[in-house]
Amino acid sequence: MALKPGGRFSLWRALHPSKSRWPVLTLVTLTAINLFNYLDRQVLSAVLTPIKNELHLTDGELGWLATAFMLGYFLTSPLFGYLGDRFPRRWLIAAGVAVWSLGTVLSGTAHGFWSLVMFRALVGLGEASYGTISPGWIADLFPPARRNNALSIFYAAIPVGSALGYVVGGAIAAHHGWRSAFWLAGLAGVPLVLGMLLLREPVRGANEAPVAAGAEEQPQGWRNYLELLRRPRYVLLVLGYVGQTFTLGGFAIWAPTFLYRVHGMDLERAAWFFGLSLVATGLTATLLGGWLSTLWRKRNPAAYAWMLGLSTLAGAPVAFAAFALPDPELARIMMIAAMFLLFLSTGPVNTLILETVPVTARASAMAASIFCIHLLGDLPSPLLVGMLSDSVGLAKAVLLLPAALVGAAAVWLWLAWQMQRKS
């Protein structure tokens, strides 16, 4: 086999595919990394019980482990947004994968509460690099007509990776102990880092019109974050995203417990039901929402925004029914339907975030979005529902979640109307 360029079956061509294949190969690689991103994140949830028993932790301390990850994640995202708009992204992403993999491996060596807190925060820090930078990379690989579908494929890895974190982590822990679950999940990051370093990084704005790509040639650094506040479309997008994330965060924590307390469902069965529903709806709705909105946009420039507003508006009464209906079977059906409707917006919302800002501010835009949706969304929502539950009961407290969807739908429908009017 030839080792130089030119031969029909040369090793050179095998290792360096044609330029036309690179976007797809890169998308596959980044999506695979995103899957492991969420697998590493959710392994902890699968092994909480053995960790509690061995390290003698309280439930409150176990809760802090998830909070430590979230703090490491969203508090450092603005830093990576700044770096991602100024420096080569391939090395930043590779470093992020290496750091979160190291944090996962080290989690398996922890012998106390504080060391485990530190290692989980390290996982969050590494994942912040990936979450803020990789969507902008994908946006530069695909033209606008294909970009939303590409990003929908990328984000479809979230429910799959999350479910694998539960399943794989639990299976490994059952046979080899909870430490092995962290070690194997973390070591899987080594080939991911190597795969990342083999990718070609596209030029920022490579698939934009020349005027749009060259409008702001120099990144603005920290000033990017101030500039984002002057973009009404971006602000409306993030405000609606906060409301949707508030609901999803509360759903993820309290839905299994709701089924157990209100409908008498076995707790383990409730967890399995919610986990399987999350995977099925997350995967199918994310892909379907991306595909449908891409088709719709060929006829309506405001299609992405309408998809956000209408799917969320439809999801609000369905989510309310999921919590209000007395029949357990109907309640579960409505819960599945609500999750499906909410995941329809995953691709379009992230595509719009990237397309409403200059190409030199895409990482900053993703970083600011991540910071806001977690700080104001899924970080406080479980706590607020819990506090309200102590006063009025869980059955009434969870109604706060569909109420947040009404607010999100109102903001996104206003955005859609504005975009429709100016199109």
In the chain, the amino acid numbered 353 is: I
Given a cut of 60, is residue 98 above it in pLDDT?
yes
pTM for this entry: 0.81
* CB 99, CB 122: distance < 8 Å: yes
Q: What angle do CA 200, 205, 210 make, to 5 degrees?
A: 130
**pLDDT category of residue 243 using cuts at 50, 70 and 90:** very high
Tokens of 345: 């917006």
What average pLDDT does the segment 50-60 reach?
A: 83
> Burial, 58: exposed, middle or buried (Cβ in 10 Å; 0-12, 13-18, 19+)?
exposed
Element (H, E) at 48: helix 48-55
**pLDDT category of residue 276 using cuts at 50, 70 and 90:** confident
What pLDDT, in 10s, does the model give residues 153-168? 999 888 888 878 877 8
Given a cut of 90, is residue 16 above it in pLDDT?
no
Given a cut of 90, is residue 206 above it in pLDDT?
no
What pLDDT, in 10s, does the model give residues 116-132? 999 999 998 988 888 88
Given a cut of 50, is residue 12 above it in pLDDT?
no
Given a cut of 70, is residue 368 above it in pLDDT?
yes
Asked whether the domain spanning 220-423 has the same topology as the one spanning 22-207, the reply is: yes
What pLDDT, in 10s, does the model give residues 216-239? 455 566 777 888 888 999 999 999
The mean pLDDT value of the chain amounts to: 85
Say what percent of the chain tops pLDDT 90.
Answer: 40
Nearest to 118 by CA among 158, 85, 72, 58: 72
Which of 199-203, 314-318, 324-328, 330-334 is the least confident region?
Answer: 199-203
What pLDDT, in 10s, does the model give residues 391-406? 888 899 899 999 999 9
- Domain 22-207 is classified in which CATH homologous superfamily? MFS general substrate transporter like domains (1.20.1250.20)
pLDDT at 286: 92
**pLDDT category of residue 2 using cuts at 50, 70 and 90:** very low
What pLDDT, in 10s, does the model give residues 250-271? 887 788 778 888 888 876 677 7
Distance, CA of 242 to CA of 377 (rounded, Å): 5
* CB 389, CB 258: distance < 8 Å: no
Given a cut of 70, is residue 22 above it in pLDDT?
yes
Nearest to 383 by CA among 270, 258, 271, 249: 249
pLDDT at 71: 86
Domain coordinates of the chain in residue numbers? 22-207, 220-423
Distance, CA of 420 to CA of 185 (rounded, Å): 46
Distance, CA of 36 to CA of 96 (rounded, Å): 12
What average pLDDT does the segment 347-376 reach?
A: 90
CATH architecture of 220-423: Up-down Bundle (1.20)
pLDDT at 209: 62
**pLDDT category of residue 42 using cuts at 50, 70 and 90:** confident
pLDDT at 11: 38
Phi and psi torsions of 178, nearest 5°: -65, -30
pLDDT at 232: 92
